[in-house]
Structures are given as structure tokens and as C-alpha cells.
């Protein structure tokens, strides 16, 4: 009887975890040399993870992007300074390329998972000016096209709960650049676990990168 109760409790907890909703809030602010990136993760409206990067700058000596990171996990705060170099970016791109090439059906798996994501808020306001009215006007169309393409991809793959609020303000008489981006989306833990298991399953079935073939010996008669 005790084992039945324990098993029932475990199954109930497992089901609760599967249907739990993860909500992620992303806020990014840029104005001149002032940058701030914040990511907040909540489970059933309870904050479980917070990431903040109040300083993002380019180091010309080391040719790397320096990020001052502040994290909070379960009430414990951690901070560190991370340096993102060109070699790190290239290494990550190679890993990503390997996954894309050798996981069969990865696009379908990701597309299916993205279709389960609900976007509750997407606000993206920007302004810029390069000191020349003519060139600023020419860049205005490019910025609108870029934003429209990104939002179009999000709308095609995810569920938009409300229309995004997008604005681009040109400044023809001065040199300025600023961006305010806020986004909130959510998904079920069960959908993320299922996508992860499918990726692992397909990864194990990937073709070998280097497969040795037996060399046939021929004899001259």
C-alpha cells in the first residue's frame, strides 16, 4: 500500500512538471555606449533564474566582446566577466553546423517545438541618426525591412498572442542610436523535454563522420 502511494505521488509530481509552464522575459536596452541585457525565467510565476549583463563592450586590444554577467539562481547571486572572442564564436558555429548536418530531421523537431511557444509580448522601438539626412533616410528602409523579416520569422514559427509593437524613429539632424527591446514568451516543460529526447534519439542515429571502407585488392592475371 505504501509503495502504491509513493508511486502515485511520483507520477503526480512528474505530470505536474510536464505541464509546468516556463515563462521567459527578455529585455535589451542600448543607447550610445550604454547596454543592458536582462533575462528572467519563471515557472508558474515563480522566479527561478535571472541573468543580467549591465556592461557589454568591445575590447579593441583583444578583439573580443567583454560582458559583465550577473546571475541569480535559487536566491544565490553570481557575477563574472566573460570575454567572447572570434575563436569562441567560430567554434560554436562549427558545432552548430555539425548538429545541423548530422541530426536527421532536426528542422522538423525545432519547427514543431517552436510552434508550441507562445509569444505574449514583443515591443521593439529603435531610433538612429548618422549625421546626414540623406543617408539616414536611405538606412530607414533597411532597418524597417530587417525588423519586418525578424518579426515575420517569429510569427511564422511561433504563436503570437498579440500584435508586436514596432517603431523606428529617424533623427536627421544628429548622430544617435538607441534600441529598446522587450519580449515575453512561454512554453511547457513537457514540450521542451520531448524535443530534447527527439534530438538525442536522432543524434545517436547520425551517420559517422569518418567511415572506413575496406580496400579491395586486385590481382593481375
* pLDDT of 160 above 90: yes
pLDDT band at 217 (very low <50, low <70, confident <90, very high): very low
pLDDT band of 36, cuts 50, 70, 90: confident
pLDDT of 71 > 80? The answer is: no
Q: Which residues have CB under 8 Å from 28's CB, separation 6+?
A: 35, 36, 37, 38, 179, 180, 181, 182
Distance CA 11, CA 28 (A): 39
Distance, in Å, from the CA atom of 153 to the CA atom of 147, rounded to the nearest integer, reads 10
* Percent of the chain residues topping a pLDDT of 70: 72
pLDDT at 22 (0 to 100): 93
Q: What is the mean pLDDT of residues 177-187?
A: 93
Which is higher by pLDDT, 127 or 207? 127
Mean pLDDT of 136-153: 89
Domain spans, the chain: 22-93, 106-180+188-200
Between residues 165 and 107, which one has the greater pLDDT? 165
Residue 27 clears pLDDT 70, i.e. is over it: yes
What is residue 86's predicted lDDT score, i.e. its pLDDT?
64
Q: Where are the alpha helices (DSSP H) in 20-132?
A: 86-102, 106-114
CA distances from 151 to 107, 156, 173, 205 (A): 19, 9, 29, 34
Amino acid at each position: 500500500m505504501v509503495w502504491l502511494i509513493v508511486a502515485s505521488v511520483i507520477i503526480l509530481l512528474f505530470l505536474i512538471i510536464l505541464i509546468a509552464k516556463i515563462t521567459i522575459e527578455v529585455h535589451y536596452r542600448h543607447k550610445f555606449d550604454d547596454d543592458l541585457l536582462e533575462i528572467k525565467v519563471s515557472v508558474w510565476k515563480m522566479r527561478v533564474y535571472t541573468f543580467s549583463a549591465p556592461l557589454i563592450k568591445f575590447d579593441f586590444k583583444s578583439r573580443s566582446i567583454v560582458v559583465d554577467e550577473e546571475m541569480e539562481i535559487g536566491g544565490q547571486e553570481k557575477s563574472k566577466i566573460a570575454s567572447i572572442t572570434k575563436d569562441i564564436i567560430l567554434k560554436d558555429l562549427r558545432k552548430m553546423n555539425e548538429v545541423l548536418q548530422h541530426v536527421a530531421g532536426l528542422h522538423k523537431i525545432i519547427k514543431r517545438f517552436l510552434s508550441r511557444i507562445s509569444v505574449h509580448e514583443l515591443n521593439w522601438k529603435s531610433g538612429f541618426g548618422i549625421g546626414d539626412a540623406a543617408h539616414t533616410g536611405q538606412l530607414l528602409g533597411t532597418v524597417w525591412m530587417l525588423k519586418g523579416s525578424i518579426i515575420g520569422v517569429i510569427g511564422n514559427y511561433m504563436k503570437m498572442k498579440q500584435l508586436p509593437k514596432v517603431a523606428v524613429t529617424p533623427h536627421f539632424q544628429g548622430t544617435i542610436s538607441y534600441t529598446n527591446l522587450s519580449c515575453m514568451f512561454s512554453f511547457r516543460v513537457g514540450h521542451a523535454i520531448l524535443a530534447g529526447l527527439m534530438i538525442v534519439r536522432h543524434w545517436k542515429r547520425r551517420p559517422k563522420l569518418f567511415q572506413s571502407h575496406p580496400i579491395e585488392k586486385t590481382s593481375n592475371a
